[in-house]
């Protein structure tokens, strides 16, 4: 007897829970054309339904992020690192699912998808390892002309909105998300509209690890609909526009202008104007994405006699 395949309807990830969009909307997600086979004439393969996030969902996500951020930032650097290592362990345990979803999302061969997932897990571990080291590298004792100590140390910016990469559904997402949260920030992520499933599975990994609810919030849907509200939201401290270069209907320059209204930090896409492009996420990472969302706190203290 033939079995009917039951397709999943994916939800949002806000405040450590998986709610439906308050709008009640969802949209169909299809597999990308294969990059390893000749084009065929068959219709796109249906994968699942994903929740289509709204302005209200974005506001709820910012509220959850703001509530969670102080406690996350107040955790010891060692503790944050151990929590992120746990996320990598959960990702490893769900490797077959992630590989299949990356294959479907990006049209890759099995071997290429395996390599992407391995690199994504390794990158998550790489950033986790910096949790108790970056302060020593980026901070320091500053020379001053007077009987004082002048010490600089890095602190998290706060709540960071992220337009996830449109093309790299898992590796690109990990490359932008891990450096944001390792330092104590909280994140509100708008997924790739056409390739949201790896991001939602990553949310399930976060939910079943030790990451406090609200530290990461993931919204699927149209960046053109959600991003303007995040850019203008006064309780968002920074925005990463890395995915804006390729997102349909998104004017990243307009988002940057809206962000200036409350002096948000803005990380632009690579390139300028119409030439902005999504980075090559397979390249070796550095600390630039981590430092983009850090503030420098300087403390003056008199020297004892």
**Domain annotation covers residue 39:** no
- For the ranges 63-72, 237-246, 266-275, the lowest mean pLDDT is seen at 266-275
The label of the residue with tokens 């951020």 reads: 69
Q: Would you state the pLDDT for residue 276?
A: 65
Query: Partners of 29 in the beta sheet?
Result: 48
**What span, in angstroms and rounded, lies between the C-alpha atoms of 59 and 56?**
5
* Separation CA 193–CA 197 (nearest Å): 10
Residue-level pLDDT at 90 = 97
- Mean of the pLDDT values across residues 184-207? 96
Contacts with 288 (C-beta within 8 Å, 6 or more apart), sequence order: none
The answer as to whether 156 is a domain residue is yes
Q: Would residue 37 count as lying in a domain?
A: no
136: part of which helix (H) or strand (E)? helix 134-138
DSSP H helical ranges for 22-109: 55-74, 77-93, 95-106
Domain CATH number, residue 189? 3.40.605.10
Q: What is the mean pLDDT of residues 176-197?
A: 96
What is the per-residue pLDDT for 5?
Answer: 76
Average pLDDT of the residues in 213-218: 98
Domain count of the fold of the chain: 1
Least confident of 46-50, 148-152, 252-256: 148-152
Of the candidates 25, 101, 29, the one whose C-alpha atom is nearest the C-alpha of residue 56 is 25
pTM of the model: 0.92
pLDDT of residue 37: 57
Nearest to 279 by CA among 164, 130, 120: 164
- Kindly state whether residue 290 falls inside one of the protein's structural domains: yes
Q: Is the pLDDT of residue 106 over 60?
A: yes
Sign for the CA dihedral angle at 38, 44, 50, 53 comes to positive
What's residue 305's pLDDT? Answer: 61
Q: Report which secondary-structure segment, H or E, holds 14.
A: none
Measure the CA–CA gap between 285 and 259, rounded to whole angstroms: 26
* β-bridge partners, 216: 187
Residue 3 forms part of a structural domain: no
The least confident of 98-102, 225-229, 240-244, 248-252 is: 248-252
Least confident of 79-88, 112-121, 260-269: 260-269
| Mean pLDDT across the chain | 91
- Mean pLDDT within 253-275: 82
pLDDT digits (tens, 9 = 90+) for 4-14: 777 778 999 99
Is residue 268 in a domain? yes
Q: Judge whether 1 lies within some domain.
A: no
**pLDDT attached to residue 301:** 83
- The C-alpha atoms of residue 136 and residue 132 are separated, in whole angstroms, by 8
Q: Looking at residues 160-171, what average pLDDT do you find?
A: 95
Other C-beta atoms within 10 Å of 199: how many?
28
- Percentage of the chain surpassing pLDDT 90? 71
For residue 247, what pLDDT is reported?
79
Q: Is residue 177 part of a domain?
A: yes
Q: Please report the beta strands in 157-219, taking only residues with DSSP state E, as ranges in sequence order.
A: 159-163, 186-190, 216-219
pLDDT range class, residue 36, cuts 50, 70, 90: low
User: Residue 284 pLDDT > 70, yes or no?
Assistant: yes
| Predicted pLDDT at 35 | 65
Find out whether 81 and 132 touch, Cβ atoms under 8 Å.
yes
Q: What's the domain range around 155? A: 9-32+44-302
Residues 174 and 124 sit within 8 Å (Cβ to Cβ): yes
Over 80: is that where the pLDDT of 183 sits?
Answer: yes
């Amino acid at each position: 007897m033939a079995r009917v395949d039951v397709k999943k309807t994916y939800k949002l990830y806000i405040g450590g829970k998986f709610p439906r969009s308050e709008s009640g909307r969802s949209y169909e997600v299809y597999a990308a054309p294969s990059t390893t086979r000749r084009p065929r004439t068959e219709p796109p393969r249906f994968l699942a339904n994903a929740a289509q996030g709204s302005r209200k969902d974005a506001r709820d996500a910012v509220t959850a992020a703001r509530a969670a951020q102080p406690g996350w930032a107040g955790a010891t650097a060692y503790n944050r690192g151990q929590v992120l290592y746990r996320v990598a362990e959960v990702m490893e345990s769900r490797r077959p699912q992630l590989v299949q979803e990356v294959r479907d999302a990006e049209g890759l061969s099995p071997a290429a998808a395996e390599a992407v997932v391995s690199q994504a897990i390794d990158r998550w571990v790489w950033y986790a390892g910096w949790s108790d080291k970056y302060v020593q590298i980026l901070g320091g004792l500053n020379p001053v002309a007077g009987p004082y100590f002048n010490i600089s140390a890095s602190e998290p910016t706060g709540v960071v909105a992220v337009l996830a990469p449109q093309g790299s559904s898992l590796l690109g997402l990990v490359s932008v998300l891990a450096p944001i949260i390792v330092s104590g920030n909280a994140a509100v992520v708008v997924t790739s509209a056409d390739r949201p499933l790896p991001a939602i599975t990553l949310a399930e990994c976060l939910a079943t690890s030790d990451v406090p609810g609200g530290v990461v919030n993931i919204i699927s849907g149209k960046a053109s609909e959600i991003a303007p509200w995040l850019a203008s939201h006064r309780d968002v401290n920074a925005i990463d526009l890395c995915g804006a270069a390729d997102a349909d209907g998104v004017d990243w320059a307009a988002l940057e202008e809206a962000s200036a209204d409350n002096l948000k930090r803005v990380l632009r896409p690579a390139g300028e104007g119409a030439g902005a492009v999504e980075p090559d996420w397979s390249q070796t990472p550095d600390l630039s994405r981590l430092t983009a969302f850090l503030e420098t706190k300087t403390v003056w203290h008199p020297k004892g006699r």
